[in-house]
Homo-oligomer: A and B are copies of this chain.
Amino acid sequence: QIKKKGKHNLIFDSFIELLPAKNGEEPTMQFLLEVVEILTSYIKKTFDKSTKVLDFHYPHQLLEGIEGFSLELPDQPESLEQILVDCRDTLKYGVRTGHPRFFNQLSTGIDIVGLAGEWLTSTANTNMFTYEIAPVFVLMEQLTLKKMREIVGWPNGEGDGIFSPGGAISNMYSVMIARYKYFPEIKTKGMAAAPRLVLFTSELSHYSIKKASAALGFGTDNLILLNTDERGRVIPADLESKVTEAKQKGYVPVYVNATAGTTVFGAFDPINDIADICEKYNMWLHVDAAWGGGLLMSSKHRHKMSGIHRANSVTWNPHKMMGVGLILFLLQGLLQGCNSMCAGYLFQPDKHYDVTYDTGDKAIQCGRHVDIFKFWLMWKAKVCLSPLLVTASVCRAATSYLYSKIKNREGFQMVFNGEHTNVCFWYLPLSLRHLPDGEEKRERLHKVAPKIKAMMMESGTTMVGYQPQGDQVNFFRMVISNPAATRSDIDFLVEEIERLGQDL
């Protein structure tokens, strides 16, 4: 029933059925091997610098269909052969986030062991709600969270925590649990049961704190933004004066978020100073170390997060796990107390094993994807997981190289003096270099990064992020977190920016 066409090229007839169909075993194995061949060939190409980062098409082009690749959902089932073609095309028109010249996001690169972990997770196809159906994964999560709490510096690694669908949800958990700690009656009576509660975070913090304030019913007006210094760090005196002001108005300050590694500048808020103020005014201290957490594992850089052990909760996103995060709590029991609803069909109290291992009721989700295994496996293989730890070794060197290459280079201008985790810079085309500073220059400069980025994407050679921030017009934000990126890739990026931008 399977016609061989060349060595690795099977043709599946449409009537071939996969498992659980009778005699489905052989076609199933051959189909999966074909898929794996497509995937491994994609991986090889991703690490090959002669391939493009992306083959850009506008939405209408992809929607119209390109070379037979149709995104539309058909009314009739497709053959398995066509399914394999779809797989190839999906990868072809996507973006190679693992390519050494993809610098567009904080998390980049592809980790082979992590990938193997994800393939296994999909195959196991289970769910984190109970020990009953995920005994190994539930225990792996508990042990891993304990290890992470030890690294944070909490006594004996005690406390609580959970894996979540990313840093934003982790930050949302921190706000929820802080609220539950101070006003547990909100769970049953709602926000009406409490006075006006206010939260504090840096003006440069991640926008998920704002999303959480809106979603959880605080309102974004009750999230007070803190001023930052010239390096992008929260000014503790500003926090204290805003706390005092809020109290004078009769509001109740409950929560402060300190960021360890801001998204754009890579700045570290002074945790110890903030912790002092939190203690003084009885506020919950959360540290959003989604990006910077990895430095905790580096003896050289750990000091940047000095004081983190004084936090009540910590968000930490393991490296290269897009869409996965974790949140740690100093105190045990709050997560369960805040979120549990004791659904009878999952969390029967009369099971034959210790039901405290049924951790599903701690989550805001019901079904929860198994995120732990990839992390656990990468840890076992690497003992080195986090973006900034990698930065600290391979990528740190590349970042320094970039900084020294462009800091005095004609046409480049740094947003900051001095090295940062993230390198933020402007590129000035020839036509702007001799313009006097002023509104005209600012307006024209603001348009440069988007134009260069657009040309970059259309040529598909490399990708890097840009944005404005406060008074600063659009600048490039360069982050190197892919150990596959070498000096030659950085040279390429700089020269590509010049090639595309000098005559703008």
A367 to B367, CA, bound (A): 19
Q: Which A93-139 residues have a C-beta within 8 angstroms of B?
A: 93-95, 97-98, 100, 104-105, 107, 109-110, 112-113, 115-116, 118-120, 122-127, 131-137, 139
Once the chains bind, are A135 and B93 in contact (CB under 8 Å)?
A: yes
- Chain B nearest Cβ from A415, distance in angstroms: 13
| Residue A435 at the chain B interface, CB threshold 8 Å | no
Q: Which A378-404 residues have a C-beta within 8 angstroms of B?
A: 379-384
Known: A25-B47, A166-B367, A211-B341. A97 touches B125 (CB 8 A): yes
Which residues of B sit under 8 angstroms from A453, Cβ to Cβ? 351-352
| 6 A-B interface contacts by CB (under 8 A) | A29-B44, A118-B119, A190-B218, A211-B341, A264-B345, A323-B370
| Residue A322 at the chain B interface, CB threshold 8 Å | yes
Once the chains bind, are A35 and B119 in contact (CB under 8 Å)?
A: yes
Which residues of B sit under 8 angstroms from A465, Cβ to Cβ? 345
> B-facing mask of A151-181, CB < 8 A → 1, else 0?
0000000000000011111001000100000
> B-facing mask of A325-347, CB < 8 A → 1, else 0?
10000000000001101111100
| Residue A219 at the chain B interface, CB threshold 8 Å | yes
Once the chains bind, are A136 and B62 in contact (CB under 8 Å)?
A: yes
- Copy number in the complex reads 2
Which residues of B sit under 8 angstroms from A322, Cβ to Cβ? 125-127, 367, 369
| Residue A11 at the chain B interface, CB threshold 8 Å | no
| Residue A469 at the chain B interface, CB threshold 8 Å | yes
Which residues of B sit under 8 angstroms from A191, Cβ to Cβ? 190-192, 217, 219
| Residue A376 at the chain B interface, CB threshold 8 Å | yes
Which residues of B sit under 8 angstroms from A172, Cβ to Cβ? 364
A172 to B363, CA, bound (A): 13
Closest to A146 in B: B73
Closest to A108 in B: B125
Which residues of B sit under 8 angstroms from A110, Cβ to Cβ? 19, 123, 125
A180 to B131, CA, bound (A): 37
Which residues of B sit under 8 angstroms from A20, Cβ to Cβ? 47, 100, 109, 482-484
Closest to A119 in B: B119
Once the chains bind, are B119 and A133 in contact (CB under 8 Å)?
A: no
Once the chains bind, are B43 and A19 in contact (CB under 8 Å)?
A: yes
Contact residue among B323, B369, B376 (Cβ-Cβ distance under 8 Å from A127): B323
Once the chains bind, are B196 and A192 in contact (CB under 8 Å)?
A: yes
A364 to B42, CA, bound (A): 32
Once the chains bind, are B116 and A87 in contact (CB under 8 Å)?
A: yes
- Chain B nearest Cβ from A15, distance in angstroms: 13
Which residues of B sit under 8 angstroms from A369, Cβ to Cβ? 165-166, 322-324, 369
| Residue A187 at the chain B interface, CB threshold 8 Å | yes
